Amino acid sequence: MKRTQTPIDLRALQAFVTVCESGSMTSAAKRLGVSQSAVSQLVGALERDLDVEFFDRGSRPLRLTIAGRTLFELSGPLLDHAQTVENRLGSALASGTPAMRLGCVDSFAATIGPELIRALSGTASQLAMWSGLTPGLLAQMHDREVDVVVCTQTMLDESRIVEVPLFSEAFVAVAPRRWMQRHEGHSVGWKELAADLPLIRYTARSVIGQQIDRFARHLQIDSPRRYEFDATDPLLSLVSADLGFAISTPLCLWQARQYLEDIVVLPLPPGRLSRRDFFLLHREGEWEKLAGEIVNLTRRVIESIIRPSLRRALPALAEDALQ
């Protein structure tokens, strides 16, 4: 096939996909609300632009060539993206406000995210939010797939990224309540816990997993890697079942709060590795006002909702565990 500089005509591509899905030019024309000759011309123009045939026109019904099958398989994401661009542009023009794309780590999205959406619904009606692991969010920020990111790492190699500290939380040991009941009357802490039960971990592909691994090595916790999870829910389900202990954070515990009645938190030694920090990232000169609103709202939600709730559910949690 000859290489061509001609960009693909999206109307022609849509016509081609509709023919493939409907099985004939006639059916495609009815679905698109145009004449059969219009569909035939669009598909023919696409074939001429790319210098290839997509259909074996000698067969009935139409049969795709190898090139046709390849294009059909690749067309879906391209057309979906084009539709997304059209929808976002239309929404921005209708509202007078461009859509802001906010990426968050899971624990933030699940706990503070709903309050942010409620509070910003009037200011940023075009707010889009999704969650993920910090490395993926930073890659999306680099590729301009998101506008603002809340995560637990900074982008040291990006000079035009503004980094705003949001809050900090301490790592805590999470013990099964049944384990604590078995040791009732004895003075036990994280050392006895780590000596008796295996450590249930976050996966090393997550930043929190990497941070906890470093902290555990610093504390000389020598536990085999047997159970590892990306999310807090399955991790705490094993802890609550008395199958091991975990190292986690207040926000993660609140994210999986259905397990709080079956666990007990124990403090870990303070130090350079004993906390994780949250940052809000945005580009210089972009979304600065809304980023400031997110910072203020986040701190307000922590102080007025999350911290008091955690204090009631986990009275042993230190006052500075979330600050």
Q: State residue 176 phi and psi, 5-degree precision.
A: -65, 140
Q: In this predicted model, what pLDDT tens digit does every residue of 94-112 receive, in sequence order?
A: 555 567 788 999 999 999 9
CB-CB contact of 73 with 20 (8 Å): no
Q: What's the pLDDT tens digit per position in 187-201? A: 899 999 999 999 999
pLDDT over 60 (residue 92) = no
Q: What is the mean pLDDT of residues 228-243?
A: 94
Report pTM: 0.68
Give residue-wise pLDDT tens across range 139-157: 888 888 889 999 888 876 6
Domain boundaries, the chain: 10-95, 97-323
Q: Tens digits of per-residue pLDDT, 3-34?
A: 445 678 888 888 999 988 888 888 989 988 88
The residues facing 62 across adjacent strands are none
Do the two domains 10-95 and 97-323 of this chain adopt the same fold? no
Q: Which two tokens stand for residue 267?
A: 């403090």
Beta-bridge mates of residue 129: 102
Average pLDDT of the residues of the chain: 86
- Answer whether 245's CB lies under 8 Å from 174's CB: yes
What does CATH list as the number for 10-95? 1.10.10.10
What lies within 8 Å, CB to CB, of 157 at 6+ separation is: none
pLDDT value, residue 1: 45
58 is written with which tokens?
């000698």
196: amino acid identity, one letter? D
Task: Report the top-level CATH class of 97-323.
Answer: alpha beta
Show the tokens assigned to 205. Answer: 């592909």
Determine the pLDDT at residue 137. 87
